[in-house]
Structure 1
């Protein structure tokens, strides 16, 4: 894959990986059914496959036709992830976008993701990824989709937003994964009064309790390769240098 970038890590704990393939709906459905199982891969804590859907920048409804497939996973270390990349189920993402992350902040909980850091690890002005993952109550799906549309719209138009996608795993798992220029600017979007879509969505959640389970994970990217929407959205990362 082209446009590979690697920078130094700041921790030695568990890592997470993102694998994206912008493929036809048929290939996306195939990838959804063929993700790795932790019991079959040494060093794999958790993995989940999703259908990709563009963030709703100008519409209140999800695109019913998936734009690709995604795999999110948590690993003991880089060596465990390296071993997985030679597995047949990893091949679906070979020509897409792949990134490795250090978890640096967690709010909420999710089965299989119990070792993520609760206390914030500072990352200075480094770009960050944000994963929000939820299991939505089926009787709250319609109001949840409506409330989340405002947050997605504001994210997609924010000047510090680098790239992002909605992630869907039927029947009721929903997620977003987004990349941001800095923590400070991401926080401005998340808790600031302007543009305010995310704050309004969180208020709706407090009022209506959309989710059975939810987790928010902030992630520091340290290695990326490939293309997302025709480019590498993290090309500002400084390559790793050795003496």
Structure 2
């Protein structure tokens, strides 16, 4: 069996559904702890504005899962009661299926990913960056990252992006979907704003813990921004996933 990772995105509307989804960030863990084949999982909220912000977006949530195999994931999406409620309460949702290509660091003390794929320069890639910020570094961090987030908005090759996290302000992550590895690397190593923050990260010691991972996506299912998710990604639109 080959490990896979899935990211399920849910957009909710109305106070009742937003409040329910918000509560699942804590309550939902009890419903997931005994799911067969589920090796690692996180229930994540999102940031407002352009998707990466200290201000929460109560309308978008993410279920991030690492599975022992796709067969287990399929069983979950077909039969799990919590996932069924997420679908019923969301106005639209989609799931990305991913194979890990490389990773370093840890997430809550765990390295959850097993490499099962290799990136290619002209093929799509999904990037996860996640960090736990030192409490006494919060102001310094948030005063700088906004410029980097804005620099992503119109960058060539970026299809979708969102800032997510387990806890507002302190535990933050970014999920970004790129048309090609080459375009992602161009941003990572040539974008001025991004390079500045990488240097500041080392200089100012913002993070108590960090995780960086790249994935090769092999399947997408669902609807987002009113369209089939495959249609959005194939057209390389510059929409924000958290819009």
Q: Same fold (TM over 0.5)?
A: yes
2:146 equivalent to 1:149:
yes
Provide structure 1 residue ranges, at least 5 long, that are not aligned to the other structure.
Answer: 1-11, 238-243
Alignment of 1:198-217 (within 5 A): 198-217=194-213
User: Could you list the per-position Cα deviations for residues 67-96 of structure 1 after superposition, in whole angstroms to 9, with x for gaps in the alignment?
Assistant: 311111111110111122121221244340
Residue in 1 aligned with 2:224? Answer: 228
Alignment of 1:62-141 (within 5 A): 62-85=54-77, 86-94=79-87, 95-110=92-107, 111-117=109-115, 121-141=118-138
Kindly report the root-mean-square deviation, in angstroms, between the aligned alpha carbons of the 2 structures. 2.5
Q: Distance in 2 between matches of 1:93 and 1:178?
A: 22
Give the SS at the match of 1:122. coil
- Cα separation, partners in 2 of 1:27 and 1:114, compared to 1, 3 Å: closer
Give the SS at the match of 1:22. strand
User: Could you list the per-position Cα deviations for residues 37-65 of structure 1 after superposition, in whole angstroms to 9, with x for gaps in the alignment?
Assistant: 664012111101111224648xx953344
Q: Distance in 1 between matches of 2:98 and 2:4?
A: 6
More helix by percentage = 2
Provide structure 2 residue ranges, at least 5 long, that are not aligned to the other structure.
Answer: 237-243
Give the SS at the match of 1:69. strand
TM-score between the two structures when normalised by the length of structure 1: 0.81
User: Could you list the per-position Cα deviations for residues 11-62 of structure 1 after superposition, in whole angstroms to 9, with x for gaps in the alignment?
Assistant: x6321110111114324303323435664012111101111224648xx953
TM-score between the two structures when normalised by the length of structure 2: 0.81
More strand by percentage = 2
- Is the contact made by 1:31 and 1:69 (CA closer than 8 Å) also made in structure 2? no
Give the SS at the match of 1:199. helix
Residue in 2 aligned with 1:53? Answer: 47
In the alignment of these two chains, the number of paired residues is 221
